[in-house]
Amino acid sequence: MKKITVVGAGIIGLSVAYYLHKEGAEVTVVDRQPEGDKTSFGNAGGIAVTEVIPAAVPGIFMKVPGWMLDPLGPLAVRPAHALKLLPWLLRFYRSGKKDEFMRIYRSLSVLNSRVYNDLLPMLEDTGLMKELHRDGALTVYETEAGYNAEKHEWELREQAGIRVQHMTGDEARALEPALSSKVTHAVFTPQWSHINDPKVIVDELRGWLIKQGVNVIKGDVGEIQTAGAGQQQVKMKDGRTHFADDIVIAAGVWSRKLAEMLGEKSLVESERGYNTTIQDSGVQLSREVIFAERKFVATPLSCGLRIGGAAEFGGINDKPNYKRASSLAKLAEIYLPTLKKTEGIHWAGHRPSTPDSLPVISRSSLHSHVYYAFGHGHLGLTQSATTGRLIADLIYSRPDSLDYTPYSIKRFN
């Protein structure tokens, strides 16, 4: 029986632990705060299988200065972090070149085409299928120019096998009556889903794993040492050591530092996202709504209406600016006129984002018994089960299940 240590108890780490447990491995999950607040708790709850378009779309750099002039706009870079971000930005710029963009688009399409094949069995097995709503999503536009600007992206989605239905503003309001007359165009994507509450998924999955015998341990990782089979060591800062045949690093944005300990670069940056969750909002939505031109979303969760978005690059140590969460909620009033209030529970979290929008799902290029599962950006929940399945395939020598090259950590070294 293999002994495997997974570093990270977010949705990615837990999904990896699930699939390794199903293989019969003896799994230990270590995390600084296994039950604490995580990026996995605060996402918008979407199973965003339609999101196969990389962030670095051709021409996006022309829009960036305008976004950054707005202190509460969809994109911000904190001045103290700007120089540190330059290598990431350079790679992001290169990712927007046409040939590279298309390569990344195809690689995202491959991953997302597998999502339900891996996610549904995991939800069914763990008793969480009741948390999933397969009602599609609605992307809305307030101007014809905004709608026309993204037509090519919708064509690419259709080429990837994604079903889309273009709508007028009135047709969108027939589907979601809460939308205001500001909406002039929309696109419905029936393959999108959303869950009741991301925190419930993480908590319930962790609890299920513990009941199945997976060891979940609280503690900070201080050092990782690698050697031959059965001799990998995860040394905790409190002096404890966990021995394993294999180690999986699935610690979100903190994976970058752990990979550096092992001599590998990853170019993963914290892209801080914000949201406000409003109970008794007065808004009735049946599905997630994406406000394309304003770069935010609204999702009807069991804990309230969650309004989220923004991309802020400032490292992992700066304090969050919750004015961003408040501004998103106030912006929602434009589209959701029955919104009773804009005050709610604010949240901010570190999305682990790569410049090419592709996660790292990979064996280490330097250590044969170390594997990486991080860098999913906005698609951590979406790609979590598929990542777990693919890591299990790698560890158990089934690499032919996928061409792992686009997701390899080698691309950053």
In the structure, what pLDDT confidence band is assigned to residue 80 with cuts at 50, 70 and 90?
confident
For Cα atoms 36, 39, 42, give the angle at the middle one, nearest 5 degrees: 95
Same domain, residue pair 184 and 284: yes
pLDDT bucket at 78, cuts 50 / 70 / 90: confident
Q: Is residue 118 part of a domain?
A: no
Q: Are 34 and 150 found together in one domain?
A: no
Among 326, 353, 380, the domain boundary falls at 353
Domain presence at residue 159: yes
107 and 209 fall within a common domain: no
Tokens 């690059």 belong to which residue? 313
**Which of the listed residues 353, 368, 401 is the one where a domain comes to its end?**
353
One-letter amino acid of 47: I
* Arithmetic mean of pLDDT, 271-293: 96
Q: Note down the domain range covering 275.
A: 44-113+129-195+268-353
Q: Express each pLDDT in 129-140 by its tens digit.
A: 999 999 999 999
Shared domain for 365 and 406, answered yes or no, is: yes
Check which CATH number belongs to the domain holding 259 and give it.
Answer: 3.50.50.60
- 261 and 273 belong to one structural domain: no
CA-to-CA separations, 103 to 17, 54, 98, 115, 237, in angstroms, rounded: 30, 10, 9, 19, 41
Percent of the chain clearing pLDDT 90 (strictly above): 86
Is 407 in the same domain as 344?
Answer: no
- Give me the mean pLDDT over the 41-58 stretch: 94
Tens of pLDDT, residues 333-376: 999 999 999 899 999 999 999 999 999 999 999 999 999 999 99
Could you tell me if 335 and 233 lie in one domain? no
Residue 257 lies in a domain: yes
- Asked if 309 and 324 sit in the same domain, the reply is yes
User: Is residue 144 located within the same domain as residue 55?
Assistant: yes
- Same domain, yes or no, for 206 and 334? no
Percent of the chain past pLDDT 70, that is, above it, reads: 96
Residue 122 lies in a domain: no
DSSP result, 338-405 = T---S--EEEEEEEEE-TTS--EEEE-SS-TTEEEEE--GGGHHHHHHHHHHHHHHHHTT-GGGS--G
Q: pTM of the full predicted structure?
A: 0.96
- Whether 73 has a pLDDT exceeding 70, the answer reads no
**Which helix (H) or strand (E) segment is 327 a member of?**
helix 323-332
Strand bridging mode 26-31 / 215-218 = parallel
Residue 17 falls within a domain, yes or no? yes
Q: Does residue 119 form part of some domain?
A: no
Residues 62 and 36 grouped into a single domain: no
User: Does residue 280 sit in the same domain as residue 305?
Assistant: yes
CB 376 within 8 A of CB 383: yes
Is pLDDT at 69 greater than 60 in this prediction? no
CA contacts within 13 A on the Cβ side of 248: 36
Looking at the domain assignment, is residue 390 inside a domain? yes
Please give the structure tokens belonging to residue 245. 């045949």
Does position 313 have pLDDT exceeding 60, yes or no?
A: yes
Domain boundary among 336, 353, 370: 353
302: pLDDT strictly greater than 80: yes
Q: How far apart are CA 7 and CA 17, in angstroms?
A: 10
Q: Where are the alpha helices (DSSP H) in 75-225?
A: 82-95, 98-113, 115-125, 144-149, 151-159, 169-175, 198-211
Number of domains in the chain: 2
* CATH number for 278: 3.30.9.10
**24 domain-assigned:** yes
For residue 275, the model assigns a pLDDT of: 94
Distance, CA of 4 to CA of 23 (rounded, Å) = 11
**8-18: burial string, b at 16+ Cβ within 10 Å, e else:** bbbbbbbbbbb
